Amino acid sequence: MARRRLLARERLAGLHQSDAHFDRRNDRTGRTARRTIVSRQSDDRARVAPRHKRFKLTNVALVHDYLNQRGGAERVFAHIARAWPDAPVYTALYDERAVGDLIAPDRVRVSALARVPFANRCFRALAPFYPRAFERFDLSGFDVVVSSTTAWAKGVRLAPGAIHVCYINTVSRFAFAYDEYVRSPLARPLVNRLAAWDRLAATRPTRFVANSTNVANRIREHYGREADVLHCPVDVDRFTPGNGAGDYFIVVSRLLPYKRLELAIAAAALAGIRLFVAGTGPAERSLRRLARGTTTTMLGFVSDAQLNELLGDARAAIVPGEEDFGLVPLEAAAAGRPTIAYRGGGALETIVEGETGAFFDEPNAESLAAALRNFGAARFNPERLRAHAEKFAPAQFIERLRAIVQRVYREAHRATADVPK
């Protein structure tokens, strides 16, 4: 009987080994913070209410794909977390060193995948296991779930009658950019299965909220669903307007193949201009080889303070690939600097041509090089750039997101809900 109760408890928690074993393992390795994060899931399960309960808009859980790196999606989720400061955060992986100042560890509940050695470092290799990890989160004690995702978090399961508002940063790339995403024929069967799960998971949220009209159109095309549009917020106060005193352009990006950073390196060489590339990612090694002996300097990781200085002193930021939304043009504007971007995707929603930036029309190095040669930074007013960025302030984002959640909640529980003003 004791063994049966232990197995039942493990299944309920979504874990593959007993809590006692996990405690011993963490005592040996010193990873006590992660043990504490996982154990808090039992506290959340205690919030499960009786069958005939009165739903509450304040009983909220937050979900994000993974919090083990620091990028635009993590910064946006930090603002979502500020909208509900008492809500627990469910995520596959968490690295306090990367995002501890954005999301406090005492709010976080991680999946069993957090036990995998070096999981934060090799998290992309865990893709086959994320669907199951998110489906096993026990959210039965919550009336409202707000998720933020590029792939996985939309697939969580809810209690009957609960609502799920999903802020979607992009339609999963293995679903809409199949040929670009799948490089090896051996991976196709796996990606096909993930894409099938992705389509199923897209039926679960009560409402989608897209970060751009560009992404809303993809949601309609690939999932057959409509979405509200709420542009990402930018931390304007992180930046001080500069004067572009440097003689360089800058790319700020995760180093991923679809970002088209090789195009920026080639264009900088063609135009004979200095280029700095700030960021890290799986394509870093190949990009460093490509940049060797050119006018491009690979900076690797830069701190927030360094980024503020680099953007403020740059002639302009460059966005070489098509972005779903893209925070960089707004961060550059907050630092008083314009952006040169490919004419497509989210850049069309964040750049005012001739006022906050310029576009190049063809997705090749020659077109970008021509834009770099013809670029005149002097015609852009730093005060107007800053004012443009302030239109995307976090306070407005939080207010609008809360209003959307409240509206969806009212629609779902019009007859019985007691919704506070």
Check whether domain 43-233+396-412 has CATH 1.10.8, yes or no: no
Phi, psi dihedrals of residue 91, rounded to the nearest 5°? -155, 155
Sorted by where each begins, the domain ranges of the chain are 43-233+396-412, 236-391
Distance in angstroms (rounded) separating the CA atoms of residues 118 and 78? 24
Inform me whether the pLDDT recorded for 230 exceeds 70: yes
Distance in angstroms (rounded) separating the CA atoms of residues 261 and 267? 10
Distance in angstroms (rounded) separating the CA atoms of residues 343 and 385? 19
Segment among 20-24, 95-99, 258-262, 415-419 with least mean pLDDT: 20-24
Inform me whether the pLDDT recorded for 38 exceeds 80: no
Inform me whether the pLDDT recorded for 57 exceeds 50: yes
Inform me whether the pLDDT recorded for 378 exceeds 90: no
Distances (CA, A) of 154 to 69, 116, 131, 198, 370: 19, 23, 10, 9, 41
Superfamily in which the 236-391 domain is placed by CATH: Glycogen Phosphorylase B; (3.40.50.2000)
Task: Return the closest-CA partner of residue 148 out of 325, 309, 328, 365.
Answer: 325
Mean pLDDT (whole number) for 11-31: 35
Please count the residues of the chain: 421
Mean pLDDT (whole number) for 31-49: 47
For residue 421, give both structure tokens: 């003003």
Q: Is the dihedral of CA 296, 299, 302, 306 positive or negative?
A: negative
284-337 per-position pLDDT tens digit: 999 999 999 999 999 999 999 999 999 999 999 999 999 999 899 999 999 999
Instruction: Identify the pLDDT of residue 326.
Output: 87
Mean pLDDT (whole number) for 96-116: 96
Q: Which of the four pLDDT bands, split at 50, 70 and 90, describes residue 368?
A: very high
How far is Cα of residue 194 from the mean position of the Cα atoms in its chain? 19
173-202 per-position pLDDT tens digit: 876 665 665 666 777 888 889 999 999 999
Instruction: Identify the pLDDT of residue 278.
Output: 98
**Where does residue 213 rank: exposed (0-12), middle (13-18), buried (19+ CB within 10 A)?**
middle
Asked if the domains 43-233+396-412 and 236-391 are classified in one and the same CATH topology, the answer is yes
Inform me whether the pLDDT recorded for 48 exceeds 80: no
Mean pLDDT of the chain: 87
